[in-house]
Amino acid sequence: QVQLVQSGSDLKKPGASVKVSCKASGYTFTSSGMNWVRQAPGQGLEWMGWINTKTGNPTYAQGFTGRFVFSLDTSVSTAYLQISSLKAEDTAVYYCARVDRDPLTGLYYFDYWGQGTLVTVSS
């Protein structure tokens, strides 16, 4: 069965960096793109972008350029989200989510999600 297992919660000081991992199992890692979604406390979900697991090419959503980097290690079926120069407003739960292709429409949608990683930024 498909599983996305994320790294555990992390507490960081402002200005530091954090790297969140998302280990996939139960399917061929390079067959599905990986997305990242943020949920700040008391807020809704925000799509951060995605990474093409075949080519490694990332696409960042508006508001998530510069300090946010998506990367892969296909040898261990793992996607990473790195955030640098952390700010208090980066405090949130970060989810990875796989996309699958709908064979009828050819469109992609989120079918499996990781359990989420809480990143807390506080001095």
Q: Which residues make up the interface to other proteins (CB under 8 A)?
A: 4, 35, 37, 43-47, 49, 61-62, 95, 97, 102, 104-105, 107, 109-116
CB of 61 to other proteins, least distance (A): 5
CB of 16 to other proteins, least distance (A): 26
In the complex, least distance from residue 60 CB atom to other proteins, rounded to whole angstroms: 10
* Angle, alpha carbons 83-89-91 (nearest 5°): 65
Contact (Cβ atoms closer than 8 angstroms) between residue 70 and residue 77: no
- Which CB atom, from 17 or from 59, has the smaller least distance to other proteins? 59
* Closer residue to other proteins (CB): 75 or 103: 103
Please state the closest distance from residue 70 (CB atom) to other proteins, in A: 14
What DSSP string runs through 31-81? GS-EEEEEE-TT--EEEEEEE-TTT--EEE-TT-SSSEEEEEEGGGTEEEE
Q: Which residue number, 13 or 103, has a Cβ lying nearer to other proteins?
A: 103
Quote the DSSP letter at residue 103. Answer: T
Question: How many whole angstroms separate alpha carbon 61 and alpha carbon 111?
Answer: 20
Q: Which is nearer to other proteins, 17 or 25 (CB)?
A: 25
